[in-house]
Amino acid sequence: MLYILLSICCSVIVSVMLKLAKRYQVDVVQAVMWNYVVAIALTWLFFKPQLVNLQAAPVYHLAALGVLLPVLFVVLATSVRLTGIVRTDIAQRLSLFIPILASYLIFHEHLSWLKIIGVVVGFAAIICSIPWQKGGGKATAGSWFYLLIVFVGMGVIDVLFKQLATFKSLPYTTSLFIVFILSFVCALILFIVKLVSKKTKFSFPHILIGGALGAFNFGNILFYLKAHKVLASQPSTVFTAMNIGVIVAGTLVGLIVFNEKLSTLNRVGVFLALAAIFVITYASY
């Protein structure tokens, strides 16, 4: 569970940075582009990926992740602008249903009744943790499509990373290196399009912002993959603990750093999330 905890910490820090980015009018596409430059450098520095036997690489999985990762950043920003933070948050958190379903249909995982109870409690925690009565704003016509992309995209990314972690012909660090390169290329194309259409300008501070984002983004994905390798026979444990853990950590950061207020329902959600993590962990061992 240590890898899951480390991944949760990195994920929450990335979320905090994106929240601050909106406040300080940071160009998300430009920051995401530099984020992948740093992620590529860190992967090469720490793991020295061997670019051999690439003919056996899962091309479709790598290509899908290379496009989904940067594009989903942009979709998330658009979804927040058109539908509000609350609706987008719901779509992100409920995407947990997709990898859990994949645990049964794709990975053929056997779940005990105790773990099923933990998952159900976790779903209840997710629903209770959402600030139903605050924020969100009015959704514009057709904006539901962005929520659908967020929901499906987040779930598919989780499943694809699980499959990369279990792929034996190519080391997962090499796969990760290739994914980061493809993601950078995709983000670069998006940035060039915005630059040519004069919707953004090159800004040196974005290199620093993207660099910090890349370091934590690298840690998030790396530890997430390691958790899947350690708990290869229990993908739903990783899926559920990761998502619920982010909620708990995010709530604490919101209270301490951003002085956010919690309703009674939100407090119940935090308690249920902690209970769910305990039940799922106990059932796993």
Domain around 222 = 2-284
Does 177 or 162 have the greater pLDDT score? 177
**Count of C-beta atoms within a 10 Å radius of residue 87:** 22
Residue listed under structure tokens 């951003």: 258
The mean pLDDT value of the chain amounts to: 78
pLDDT of residue 45: 87
Q: In the 3-class helix/strand/coil scheme, how is 191-246 assigned residue by residue? A: HHHHHHCCCCCCCCHHHHHHHHHHHHHHHHHHHHHHHHHHCCCCHHHHHHHHHHHH
Burial class (CB in 10 A: 0-12, 13-18, 19+), 247: buried
pTM of the model: 0.74
What Å distances lie between residue 203 and 20, 188, 217, CA to CA? 17, 14, 21
Burial class (CB in 10 A: 0-12, 13-18, 19+), 206: buried
Query: What percent of the chain lies above the pLDDT cut of 70?
Result: 80
Structural domains counted in the chain: 1
* pLDDT tens-digit readout, 111-120: 677 777 877 8
* pLDDT tens-digit readout, 248-263: 777 777 777 767 666 7
**Is the torsion defined by CA of 238, 244, 247, 251 positive or negative?**
negative
pLDDT of residue 138: 46
The tokens for 197 are 């259409």
Confidence of residue 87 (pLDDT cuts 50, 70, 90): low
* Residue 3: pLDDT over 80: yes
The tokens for 280 are 């799922």
**Count of C-beta atoms within a 10 Å radius of residue 212:** 16
Does 223 or 136 have the greater pLDDT score? 223
